Amino acid sequence: MSVLTIKDLHAEVDGKEILKGVNLEIKGGETHAIMGPNGTGKSTLASVVMGHPKFTVTKGSVTLDGKNVLDMEVDERARAGLFLGMQSPAEVPGVTNSDFIKTAMNARLEEGKNVSLFKFILEYDKAVSELKMNEDLPHRYLNEGFSGGEKKRNEILQMKMLKPTIAILDEIDSGLDVDALKIVGENVTKMKSKDLGLLLITHYKRLLEYIEADFVHVMMVGKIVKSGGVELIKKIDTEGYDWIKKELGIEDVRVIVEEEEEKVLLGVCATKEALGL
């Protein structure tokens, strides 16, 4: 069973601090959900754990089974069992979908070893049909021209093939129609086991109707400000976030506010000028 431990994690981009002390522990067999208003650092947390180079960790630690994740290259993190299903998966023209997954699977094996092509094709076809995806998928370039929903299903296809021990799914529900949401939800639930720790980032209760969460966290101003069980999801779904802001005395939930304030001020000045005030 794997354990991902995030302690007092601080990270910045272009000198701006976005993560301001995140603490979270995800164990194999557990499903955690992170909710929270826009721009509060949820995707940044996912990117930092996976090692996106644009973010600099300034404080804190991330360990997987006691090993320092922050010291690892992105491919090492994947080999160690981490997986990220992205909020906006990139299009990669020139690399076919099946080649991409095969390469990723081979990269997780010892050097010189390769996945058996026969086994790969069988497993790939099975995953494509379980996700009710088009059969031309293996030969198409990675995500190129895919609809929003197809991209999201493709992330789950990769997860099915790569069998991570800790998977972070960032807004896997966005862009999915109701039938696709059910298919994705059921496929993820089928993957649940004591060997998989799941972190779902979502805005909506509906995803969590298909994938049951054990713990629910709320992120604001770059950290987890509240944790609880599924009752939190229901309350957020009906009442929004204002009650949490009031309870914790948070006025602005966003991580970066200066720029917005500047824009508003500039706008006010320009308007005043135009009005001759």
Ligand X SMILES: Nc1ncnc2c1ncn2[C@@H]1O[C@H](COP(=O)(O)OP(=O)(O)OP(=O)(O)O)[C@@H](O)[C@H]1O
- List contacts with ligand X (CB under 6 A): 13-14, 18, 36, 38-44, 54, 87, 254-256
Of residues 242, 175, 227, 183, the one with CA closest to residue 204: 175
Nearer Cβ to ligand X, position 43 or 143? 43
Nearer Cβ to ligand X, position 2 or 202? 202
Question: What does the DSSP 8-state code read for residue 30?
Answer: -
Nearer Cβ to ligand X, position 22 or 255? 255
The binder of Mg ion chosen from 43, 143, 165, 187 (CB under 5 A): 43
CA distance linking residue 230 with residue 155, whole number of Å: 25
Stretch near Mg ion under the rule CB under 5 A, chosen from 27-35, 61-69, 80-88, 140-148 = 80-88
Q: In terms of DSSP bridges, do strands 166-170 and 82-85 run parallel, antiparallel, or are they unpaired?
A: parallel
- Contact in structure between 144 and 92 (CB atoms under 8 Å): yes
CA distance linking residue 72 with residue 78, whole number of Å: 10
Closest distance to ligand X from the beta carbon of 208 (Å): 16
Give me 46's structure tokens.
């996912």
Positive or negative: CA dihedral 254, 259, 262, 268: negative
Q: Does 44 bind Mg ion (CB under 5 A)?
A: no
Residue 255 touches which member of Mg ion, ligand X, none, C-beta under 5-8 Å by kind:
ligand X
Nearer Cβ to Mg ion, position 80 or 173? 173
Look at the block and give the residue holding tokens 């862009």. 175
Binding residues (CB under 5 A) for Mg ion: these are 42-43, 87
